[in-house]
Amino acid sequence: MESMKQELESSTTLSEDPAGQIAHSRSERRAKPRTWEIPPAPAPAPHLDDYKSIVGEPVVEELRFLARGLAKKTLKMVNSTAVGGGVAEMLNRLVPLLAELDVTTHWDVITGGNDFFEVTKAFHNALHGAPYELTREAQEIFLTYNEQNRQRMQFNEDIVVIHDPQPAAMIGARKDTSAQWVWRCHIDLSNPHPQVWGFLRPFIEQYNAAIFSSQTFARQLPIPQYLFYPCIDPLSEKNKKLDDSFVQKVCDEFGIDRSRPIVTQVSRFDRLKDPVGVVQAFKLARKYADCQLVLAGGGASDDPEGAIVLKEVKEAVGNDPDVIILDLPPWCALEINALQSASTIVVQKSLREGFGLTVTEALWKGKPTIGGAVGGIPNQIIHKLTGMLVHSIEGCAYQIRYLLTHPEFATQLGRNGREHVKENFLMTTNVRRWLLLLQILLRGGKA
């Protein structure tokens, strides 16, 4: 007994934890977690045949069949960053898979100074509904960098796909090409800032087509619009099947007790992800059903607002030993995977959301999932069929309690959720959509 007490007293405290992964005082009673000071080397990219074991041979053969008519066609993707963020992550997988299908795909990244990225960040927030004063100077900065990038790039491909607003004005290069130009919008345009949208809209209207991530994100436009859901890669570190021994090791390191139900939310510490609401819902639900809460997030240490939200979360938690808060570095895909895999229930109680890839990840792992009925979450969670949609803290608490006390129903939800992802939100489905769209565009837009 005495030796155990000494061990507990001598184990990691928050101040000794160099990476600060465990943000809660409960870490004082845990073994010291591994630290990830250096990001691990990326895993090698999978090949098409590797997906057969997941989606079945016919799906992969169908991709080969659809690509036949596209042999020797070329495609250019243009976006604003090669690393970080969902778009770059998706392109990193999509481009080699298209190349394997003989659709030569060039990926160019625009460059710009801080002034450009400040303007485009402000545009991004404004298009999500934030207040903003669009100045003439901001417009000039935007147009000048778009023009510089236009001059720097060659456009010899059959199809050019411009991702998001940052490079949208590069459509100016279209007149010198015979290519079909597509605007792929990954952001929620359902309630855009009128001035910023009014400025961008004339550029968007010059494209041959636009692609949105959800029906609700689209705008009225005089060009054809297509719906492409975002996707996850089932072979990535975040989503591949893990050995249970690894899941156990991660839980041990973070002091998570797998013999008791685990409710998890994985999200940046951002008010719109409502982590404080999750804590409140958990506290209500736990009065009726034993469980622990894991809140895993990242970026709070280098994002001043994230640090404030993390502080608010800790205040809401108080000294509750059943809540484990983890502030993880960005390269912890395997650990996030392990936490999701270990969970009994996954929650994404967002108040506003883009598509909500954490929901896709949880459904893919067959987890009964509770999500706020916002953004792209209702595309993924069909209430009572592939998960549970909620509109309030009390609603979330009720569903946590319900799922914990109805395990057979919860298991069935998880199974349905995984099928829904397999059908609609995997990388292979995304490749299929691209191949079909390329066929349509190369026939002059006639399906």
Bridge pairing between strands 74-79 and 225-227: unpaired
Residue 71 carries which DSSP code? T
Select 298 or 378, whichever has its Cβ closest to ligand UDP.
298
CB of 128 to ligand UDP, least distance (A): 10
φ, ψ of residue 444 in degrees (nearest 5): 80, 25
Q: What is the C-alpha separation between 52 and 60, in angstroms, rounded?
A: 6
Site string for ligand UDP, 318-337 (x = CB under 6 A): ----------x-------x-
Should residue 291 be labelled a site residue for ligand UDP when binding is judged by CB under 6 A? no
- Chain residues 126-185 in contact with ligand UDP, contact rule CB under 6 A: none
Binding residues for ligand UDP, total number by CB under 6 A: 16
Should residue 361 be labelled a site residue for ligand UDP when binding is judged by CB under 6 A? yes
Residue 296 carries which DSSP code? E
Select 355 or 364, whichever has its Cβ closest to ligand UDP.
355
Query: Distance of CA 183 to CAs 53, 130, 180, Å?
Result: 33, 22, 10
Q: Let me know: does 363 contact 238? Beta carbons within 8 Å.
A: no
CB of 331 to ligand UDP, least distance (A): 8
274 token code pair: 């409502």
As to burial, measured by CB atoms within 10 angstroms (0-12 exposed, 13-18 middle, 19+ buried), residue 254 is buried
The DSSP line for 74-139 is EEEEEES-SSSSHHHHHHHHHHHHHHHTT-EEEEEE----HHHHHHHHHHHHHHTT------HHHH
Select 267 or 430, whichever has its Cβ closest to ligand UDP.
267
CA angle 61, 82, 180 (to 5 degrees): 60
Should residue 357 be labelled a site residue for ligand UDP when binding is judged by CB under 6 A? yes
CB of 343 to ligand UDP, least distance (A): 13
CB of 294 to ligand UDP, least distance (A): 12
Should residue 378 be labelled a site residue for ligand UDP when binding is judged by CB under 6 A? no
**How many Cα atoms occupy the beta-carbon half-sphere of 36 within 13 Å?**
17
SS3 at position 373 = coil
**Angle of helix 275-286 versus helix 304-317 axis, rounded to 10:** 10
Q: What is the C-alpha separation between 139 and 124, in angstroms, rounded?
A: 14
Torsion of CA 206, 211, 212, 218, to 10 degrees: 40
Q: How many CB atoms within 10 Å of residue 244?
A: 12
Should residue 298 be labelled a site residue for ligand UDP when binding is judged by CB under 6 A? yes
Select 373 or 440, whichever has its Cβ closest to ligand UDP.
373
335 token code pair: 């650990």
**Which of the ranges 209-217, 252-260, 290-298, 403-411 carries the binding residues for ligand UDP, by CB under 6 A?**
290-298
Site string for ligand UDP, 198-237 (x = CB under 6 A): ----------------------------------------
Should residue 258 be labelled a site residue for ligand UDP when binding is judged by CB under 6 A? no
**Which of the ranges 96-104, 168-176, 296-304, 395-403 carries the binding residues for ligand UDP, by CB under 6 A?**
296-304
> Whose CB is nearest to ligand UDP?
298
CB of 349 to ligand UDP, least distance (A): 12
Site string for ligand UDP, 336-355 (x = CB under 6 A): x-----------------xx
Q: What is the C-alpha separation between 173 and 203, in angstroms, rounded?
A: 11
**Which of the ranges 150-158, 161-169, 189-197, 263-271 carries the binding residues for ligand UDP, by CB under 6 A?**
263-271
CB of 217 to ligand UDP, least distance (A): 13
Should residue 388 be labelled a site residue for ligand UDP when binding is judged by CB under 6 A? no
CB of 227 to ligand UDP, least distance (A): 17
Should residue 124 be labelled a site residue for ligand UDP when binding is judged by CB under 6 A? no
Q: What is the C-alpha separation between 270 and 299, in angstroms, rounded?
A: 10
CB of 270 to ligand UDP, least distance (A): 7
Query: Contact with ligand UDP (CB under 6 A): which of 240, 268, 352, 418?
Result: 268
- Chain residues 34-93 in contact with ligand UDP, contact rule CB under 6 A: 86
**Closest alpha carbon to 335 in 97, 7, 19:** 19
Query: Contact with ligand UDP (CB under 6 A): which of 266, 324, 338, 427?
Result: 266
Select 236 or 344, whichever has its Cβ closest to ligand UDP.
236
Binding residues for ligand UDP, per CB under 6 A? 86, 238, 266-268, 296-298, 328, 336, 354-358, 361
